[in-house]
A and B are shown apart, each in its own frame.
Chain A
Amino acid sequence: MKTLRLVLSHVFHPSPLNTENYIEVDRPIGLFHIATGGCGACGQELSALSGAAYGLARWGVEFVRTPQQAHYLLLTGALSRNMGFAVDAAWHAMPSPKGIIAVGDCALGEGIFSQNYATFGGMKGRIQADLTISGCPPSPALIGDAIMSLLHSSRHSQPPPPPQAPEEPPPLSSNEENSGG
């Protein structure tokens, strides 16, 4: 009975992700998430993406708890001034090659939280992201598909340069080629 239920659940509940175009990653890809001031919806959609309903971890992409383990810094929220230092610190703590993913309208500077005394109004013109995913909030399927497309494209591009200690602290942007990959 349980086997039948398992088979039926696969037939009637296909993965909500567009997995046909997904690639197997050679090594786990770590995402370090920072919520920078928002309602929390984007964070909840990221939780859903990593959870049992979407299972992004099965494709080798997982959320990590320290920037040292991360390949990509994943930012949500309108970039509050109080969180600016944390974003900066996390970025500098990440080993190269690395990249930035901005998720949600607030992070892209397209949401309702424009610049004021408390926020920078998103990353627009301030942080250059490798991948931007709009939506308020974008659905887990949309986020998952976009991240897998980024990994797919970075796999087919040039190999990453060897990590070098920068002479000066790099700006908070990911203009390195083949970032994250």
Chain B
Amino acid sequence: MSEWEKELRSFGQAHSQDTDEHYKSAVEIICSGKEYISPSASELNTQQRAYHFQLDEKKWERLLSELAYSPLLLEGMWYDGSLLHALFLDQSYQPLIACLPIEDGRYYGLSAVRKEAVFYERMINDLWGVESLSPVELPPLVDHRKWERMAPCNNKLPSLSPHTADFSIFTEEMEKHLASSKAELIETGPADGARHAPYALHLVANIHHILGAQLSVGYGHRGMVARMRDLPLHHAFPYVARLNAAASIAHQWAFAQAVEQALSIHVSKNTSLQRCILAELERMTAHLSVLIQLWEETDARLLAAHCEKILEEIRDLNDQVCGHRFLMDTIMPSRNSATFTLDQIRFIKAHLSILARYNDELYALYAEATGLRKSLLGKGVLSYPLAMEMNIGGVSGRASGRDYDLRRSMPGYDLKWLSALSFPQGCCEARIRMRLAELTASLRIIHAATDRLEKGMNDPQYPYKREEVVDYAQQGLYAGWGRAESAEGVVWYWVKIEEGRIADISYADPSQKLSIIAEHLLKQAHWTDGPLIVTSLGFSAAGTDG
């Protein structure tokens, strides 16, 4: 039984015979394409199966018609200047990439059959001027008509000046609601004095509930992909680490895994264990940061103060152990820049007992706040079918009944450390409980990992030096895919390395899908709950950069 099927059955749902056939048919169409990377590079990666295929237009259209009925999960789309790539996950959550040559700047888009494709197709259109033929409305995402030219990544297009007049953030549906005399427009951001990365929330609401919602991102767009393309491999690390501070380790680890897979680099057990410890430290800080924002939204100052104290303890620990409060620039392919000594491991363990005590107090405080918990119940419900359809992982997925945790298959983790945590409610309160539960679980994982690391201090480490990796990467063409579980879900990277440089790169941050989910959840909510619902998802606008 596939991972996916297990998950569906655990929730009392099952595949029909028809969907299974459509799924198989869609996979067959993709696999019938030409293998994307040249044979010379594929031969080097003999251990990995082929998962990237180039389709012609006919096959692409057949794939689209199958996708309408097939539950193949779409994880991301990108354009590289000549080919459009769409990354799917099969039923074992393994990647399957289909790519299509684009000749006239247009293609049949996936947004007609996949909600999440809207985000990627808008991004591709903004950056490259490549248009999706889709019945769905695709307004600009990151191009707010403030750039010097349109489609800045596409040098083949003539330098077009932006047209400010045609820029509207509202969809037709929102315009229709706005025309109604009983609806009001409520807007916050992008400069609202808050400390998070900039985004704007546009709500069309009547006295009872929100009729339409638009979460506008792209205000802080930095052009991450354009910056990383064509860079020497090691120059890309600082960008990866600074893509989203809330998930810096997850990004670094996923990128390192992609490079390691591409170059067939072996990673030692101790390196993986250290990464696991760093990832759990980051998970705790991410949960605490979201909780602080939530307590501020709900005016629960005592809980906020408690979380702030714990967060500072962890940031201080990060600084002392790795030299950076946000653990940036710590993970490299084949190794970690910060090596844990025995003293450091003991230092972490000593801190764990303090953190555990603080954590217990936080739990007790929340348990006592009955009124607060009651006020959060039933708000912003993410249903299980929607979480499953859009493959929402992390806290939001598990608080909606999903039993998906990528850490179960990540190196460094032990299945014994990961209990099956899942709540069926899917509301703000369930997400908060999940965060609190994961704080406790992270402490337990760090404890177990440090124990194991302490015992295995003499195991062989770092089979490759940095120079060796650089030399090896300069010898040909490689491609690899890697992923890591952040607090909010899976972060993945796909990277193509050519003669030591990044020829192409794509990535996904959970916030990309959460921006679409937020708009869904906001509809029918009361307008005063808008910011609370967005915050409870752990959405970070920095992660939506492209």
Partner of B195, one of A47, A53, A83, A90: A47
Inter-chain contact A117/B244, CB cutoff 8 Å = no
B220 in the interface, Cβ–Cβ < 8 Å? yes
Binary interface profile of A, 84-118, with partner B (CB < 8 Å = 1, else 0)? Answer: 11110110000000000000000000001100111
Inter-chain contact A65/B192, CB cutoff 8 Å = yes
Among the stretches B103-111, B301-309, B369-377, B430-438, the one at the interface with A is B301-309
Inter-chain contact B146/A85, CB cutoff 8 Å = yes
A48 to B304, CA, bound (A): 11
Inter-chain contact A48/B312, CB cutoff 8 Å = yes
Total contacts A-B at CB 8 Å: 148
Binary interface profile of A, 129-155, with partner B (CB < 8 Å = 1, else 0)? Answer: 000000011010000000000000000
Interface residues of A toward B: which range? 35 or more
A124 in the interface, Cβ–Cβ < 8 Å? no
Which of B148, B195, B245 is most buried by chain A, counting CB atoms within 10 A of its CB?
B195
Inter-chain contact A117/B147, CB cutoff 8 Å = yes
B229 CB to closest chain A CB, in angstroms? 12
Partner of B244, one of A40, A78, A87: A40
A72 in the interface, Cβ–Cβ < 8 Å? no
Sample of 10 more A-B contacts, CB < 8 Å, known A40-B196, A52-B309, A82-B221: A36-B220, A37-B220, A38-B242, A39-B248, A41-B242, A52-B306, A53-B309, A53-B312, A77-B220, A137-B245
Inter-chain contact A78/B222, CB cutoff 8 Å = yes
Partner of B222, one of A46, A85, A119: A119
- What are 25 sample pairs from A and B whose C-beta atoms fall under 8 A apart? A33-B193, A37-B222, A38-B220, A39-B197, A40-B244, A43-B197, A44-B245, A47-B195, A48-B315, A53-B309, A53-B312, A77-B220, A82-B219, A82-B220, A83-B191, A83-B220, A113-B222, A113-B227, A116-B223, A116-B227, A118-B147, A136-B328, A137-B245, A139-B319, A139-B325
Inter-chain contact B152/A37, CB cutoff 8 Å = no
What chain B residues lie within 8 Å of A45 (beta carbons)?
A: 325
B243 in the interface, Cβ–Cβ < 8 Å? yes
A173 CB to closest chain B CB, in angstroms? 18
A174 in the interface, Cβ–Cβ < 8 Å? no
What chain A residues lie within 8 Å of B304 (beta carbons)?
A: 51-52
B255 in the interface, Cβ–Cβ < 8 Å? no
Main secondary structure of the interface of A (DSSP, over half): loop
A68 CB to closest chain B CB, in angstroms? 11
B136 in the interface, Cβ–Cβ < 8 Å? no
Chain B, residue nearest A49 (CB): B195
A43 to B326, CA, bound (A): 12
What chain B residues lie within 8 Å of A139 (beta carbons)?
A: 319, 325
Chain B, residue nearest A73 (CB): B191
What chain A residues lie within 8 Å of B292 (beta carbons)?
A: 47, 51
A35 in the interface, Cβ–Cβ < 8 Å? yes
What chain B residues lie within 8 Å of A81 (beta carbons)?
A: 146-147
Inter-chain contact B197/A35, CB cutoff 8 Å = yes
Given contacts A48-B311, A118-B222, A136-B328, contact A82 B191 (CB under 8 A): no
A54 to B315, CA, bound (A): 13
A117 to B145, CA, bound (A): 11
B346 in the interface, Cβ–Cβ < 8 Å? no
Given contacts A40-B196, A40-B542, contact A80 B219 (CB under 8 A): yes
Given contacts A40-B244, A53-B309, A84-B146, contact A33 B194 (CB under 8 A): yes
Inter-chain contact B242/A33, CB cutoff 8 Å = no
A127 in the interface, Cβ–Cβ < 8 Å? no
Partner of A35, one of B220, B226, B238: B220
Binary interface profile of B, 141-173, with partner A (CB < 8 Å = 1, else 0)? Answer: 010101111001000000000000000000000
Chain A, residue nearest B241 (CB): A39
Interface residues of chain B, those whose CB is within 8 Å of chain A, are: 142, 144, 146-149, 152, 190-198, 218-223, 226-227, 238-239, 242-246, 248, 289, 292, 304-306, 308-309, 311-312, 315, 319, 325-326, 328, 540-542
Inter-chain contact B193/A83, CB cutoff 8 Å = no
A64 in the interface, Cβ–Cβ < 8 Å? yes
Given contacts A44-B195, A64-B193, contact A117 B248 (CB under 8 A): no
What chain A residues lie within 8 Å of B198 (beta carbons)?
A: 34-37, 83, 86
Inter-chain contact B308/A86, CB cutoff 8 Å = no
B240 CB to closest chain A CB, in angstroms? 10
What chain A residues lie within 8 Å of B220 (beta carbons)?
A: 35-38, 77, 80, 82-83
Given contacts A39-B242, A80-B220, contact A63 B195 (CB under 8 A): yes
Binary interface profile of A, 22-40, with partner B (CB < 8 Å = 1, else 0)? Answer: 0000000000111111111
A116 to B192, CA, bound (A): 26
A18 in the interface, Cβ–Cβ < 8 Å? no
Chain A, residue nearest B217 (CB): A82
Which of A35, A87, A119 is most buried by chain B, counting CB atoms within 10 A of its CB?
A35
Given contacts A33-B194, A40-B196, contact A117 B325 (CB under 8 A): no
Shortest beta-carbon contacts, A-B, top 8: A37-B220, A51-B308, A53-B312, A52-B305, A41-B245, A117-B152, A43-B195, A118-B223
A10 CB to closest chain B CB, in angstroms? 14
Chain A, residue nearest B541 (CB): A40
Given contacts A80-B221, A82-B146, contact A35 B195 (CB under 8 A): yes
Inter-chain contact B197/A51, CB cutoff 8 Å = no
What chain B residues lie within 8 Å of A66 (beta carbons)?
A: 193
A82 CB to closest chain B CB, in angstroms? 5
A29 CB to closest chain B CB, in angstroms? 14
